[in-house]
């Protein structure tokens, strides 16, 4: 989901929650927030209103627009429709997407200056050699393109992996394993995936979904197949009549395992899982910020080394006196 869409969706979900909590019917609420929208999101919510007006449920209407509404959105809406308390999931989703948007913004803002320095170094670095007549203009352009390619090709590959990676299968699992092994980023992704599980489980549980289904559906929205597999045993354990935590992989953080066990045994699962979700979300936000900072420092180092090499290169072409 694009950052601009995420921000607009936060506003839409928040407004929808407020209207529904005030007792305004779902169709009228959709029409009210649609009137204040623009662009693609306005068309999507207008389509939702039209579908609901024809007697379809909101969750079924959202399925037709998976480019905007994720599995979590549809899952929670469906659960809330069953419980009859529709405003709560939209408030929770607004908070969730606000958190995601905050992480995305921190990463992008942390990389803005390094990216600018890369372009300055690429264009300025070979310029003195061209002005001194040591290289031609076409050679200068070739060097600029070569320098930028060193950064754009890996960046393009990362974007391609994010956009086009399959939802499941061996390739997806390999990519998820690879990401988890990247220093700092892997830790951040792991904490983020655990936070998604805990928050999804908690939101479904509070919506009145049976605990077995909560444990079964929550792993599907972790965003990482490796982490999802560590939680999948929880559903099997619950189906067998045991407690959810008994089926969790022992490779999950000890803090999670211990607190979940205590919460489930004491009957305070809703509040405890919510705290766990908040804790791991805070950890993920901190680690994503640290990753952005260290990535920026790595770029600074590379740019500094490149500039130093260019200085030596220019000095070596100067005539000896």
pLDDT at 316 over 80: no
**Other CB atoms within 10 A of residue 157 CB:** 10
Handedness of CA 83, 89, 92, 96 (dihedral sign): positive
- The predicted pLDDT at position 319 comes to 58
Give me the count of residues in the chain: 321
Cα–Cα nearest to 13, from 73, 75, 60: 73
- The predicted pLDDT at position 166 comes to 65
pLDDT at 313 over 60: yes
pLDDT at 162 over 70: no
Cβ contact 16:90 at 8 Å:
yes
Cβ contact 273:263 at 8 Å:
yes
pLDDT at 154 over 80: no
- The predicted pLDDT at position 317 comes to 65
Higher pLDDT, 318 or 178: 178
How do residues 13-32 score in pLDDT, each as one tens digit?
Answer: 999 999 988 889 889 999 99
Note the pTM of the prediction, 2 decimals.
0.77
Alpha-carbon gap, residue 245 to 98, rounded angstroms: 29
How far, CA to CA in Å, does 91 sit from each of 45, 223, 267, 295? 17, 21, 25, 34
How do residues 206-253 score in pLDDT, each as one tens digit?
Answer: 877 889 989 998 998 888 899 999 999 999 999 999 999 999 999 999
How do residues 83-138 score in pLDDT, each as one tens digit?
Answer: 777 788 888 888 888 888 887 787 777 778 778 888 888 888 778 777 777 778 88
Q: Which structure tokens are listed for 220?
A: 């599907």
Alpha-carbon gap, residue 190 to 195, rounded angstroms: 9
How far, CA to CA in Å, does 300 sit from each of 48, 111, 118, 292? 47, 11, 8, 12
Mean pLDDT of the chain: 84
């Amino acid at each position: 989901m694009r950052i601009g869409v995420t921000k607009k969706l936060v506003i839409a979900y928040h407004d929808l929650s407020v209207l529904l909590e005030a007792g305004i019917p779902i169709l009228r609420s959709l029409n009210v927030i649609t009137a204040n929208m623009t662009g693609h999101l306005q068309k999507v919510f207008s389509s939702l209103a039209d579908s609901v007006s024809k007697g379809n449920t909101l969750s079924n209407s959202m399925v037709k627009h998976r480019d905007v509404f994720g599995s979590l959105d549809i899952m929670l809406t469906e659960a809330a429709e069953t419980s009859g308390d529709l405003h709560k999931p939209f408030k929770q989703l607004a908070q969730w997407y606000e958190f995601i948007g905050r992480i995305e913004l921190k990463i992008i803002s942390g990389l803005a200056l390094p990216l600018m320095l890369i372009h300055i170094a690429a264009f300025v670095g070979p310029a003195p050699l061209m002005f001194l007549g040591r290289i031609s203009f076409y050679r200068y352009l070739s060097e600029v393109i070569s320098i930028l390619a060193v950064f754009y090709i890996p960046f393009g590959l990362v974007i391609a992996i994010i956009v086009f990676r399959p939802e499941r299968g061996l390739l997806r699992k390999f990519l998820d394993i690879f990401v988890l092994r990247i220093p700092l980023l892997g830790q951040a992704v792991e904490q983020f995936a655990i936070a998604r599980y805990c928050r999804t489980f908690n939101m479904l549980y509070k919506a009145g979904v049976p605990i077995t289904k909560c444990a079964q559906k929550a792993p599907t929205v972790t965003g990482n197949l490796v982490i999802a597999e560590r939680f999948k045993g929880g559903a099997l354990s619950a189906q067998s009549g045991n407690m959810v935590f008994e089926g969790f992989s022992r490779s999950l953080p000890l803090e999670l395992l211990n607190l979940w066990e205590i919460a489930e045994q004491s009957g305070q699962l809703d509040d405890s899982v919510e705290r766990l979700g908040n804790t791991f979300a805070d950890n993920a936000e901190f680690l994503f910020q640290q990753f952005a900072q260290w990535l920026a420092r790595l770029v600074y180092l590379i740019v500094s080394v490149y500039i130093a090499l260019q200085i030596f290169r220019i000095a070596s072409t100067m005539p000896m006196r």
